[in-house]
Amino acid sequence: MATALKGFKLKLYPTSDQQILFRCTFGCTRFVWNKMFAMQIARRKNNPKQWLVSRFGMDSLLPLLKKEYPWLKDIDATALQMATDQLADAYTRFFKGQNGFPHFRKRTYAQSYTSKCINNNIQVVDDHHLKLPKAGLVYFKAGRLPAGKIKRVTIRQKSAGHYEATVLCECEIADLPKTGKSVGGDLGLKALLILSDGQKEPNLRYDKQLAKKKHQWEKKKARRLLGAQAEIARDKHEHPNNVRTLEDFKNYQEARTMVAKYAAKEAYQRQDQLQKYTTWLVQNYDLIVLEELNVKGLLKNHKLARAISNASWGRLVAILAYKCRWYGKELILVPPAYTSQECSSCHERNQRLGLSQSQWLGVREWDCPSCGTHHDRDINAAINILNKGIKTAA
The residue extents of the domains of the chain are: 2-173, 175-204+265-394, 209-262
DSSP H or E segment with residue 138: strand 136-141
Count, in order, helices (H) and strands (E) of the chain: 11, 14
Q: Where are the beta strands (DSSP E) in 227-382?
A: 287-291, 330-334, 365-367, 374-376
Q: Of residues 186, 207, 266, 342, which has the active-site annotation?
A: 186
- Please give the Cα distance from 11 to 216 (Å, whole number): 27
- Please give the Cα distance from 86 to 112 (Å, whole number): 12
- Please give the Cα distance from 18 to 13 (Å, whole number): 9
**Catalytic (active site) residue 17:** no
Least confident range from 2-11, 16-25, 226-235: namely 2-11
Pairing relation of β-strands 136-141 and 191-195?
A: unpaired
Q: Of residues 76, 85, 201, 291, which has the active-site annotation?
A: 291
Strongest mean pLDDT among 56-70, 193-207, 333-347: 56-70
pTM: 0.85
**Catalytic (active site) residue 186:** yes
Query: Which CA distances in Å does 354 have to 114, 162, 281, 379?
Result: 58, 55, 36, 21
**Catalytic (active site) residue 378:** yes
pLDDT at 294: 81
Per residue in 262-292, pLDDT (tens digit) is 999 999 999 999 999 999 999 999 999 998 8
Per residue in 191-234, pLDDT (tens digit) is 889 998 889 898 888 888 889 999 999 999 999 999 999 999 99
Pairing relation of β-strands 111-116 and 374-376?
A: unpaired
Does domain 175-204+265-394 fall into CATH 3.30.420? yes
Write 222-230 long-range contacts (CB < 8 A, 24+).
Answer: 224/249, 224/251, 224/252, 224/255, 225/252, 227/251, 227/252, 228/252
Of 65, 94, 69, 70, which Cα lies nearest the Cα of 81? 65
Of 345, 349, 342, which Cα lies nearest the Cα of 371? 345
pLDDT at 361: 72
Q: Which amino acid is at 81?
A: Q
pLDDT above 90 (res 394): no
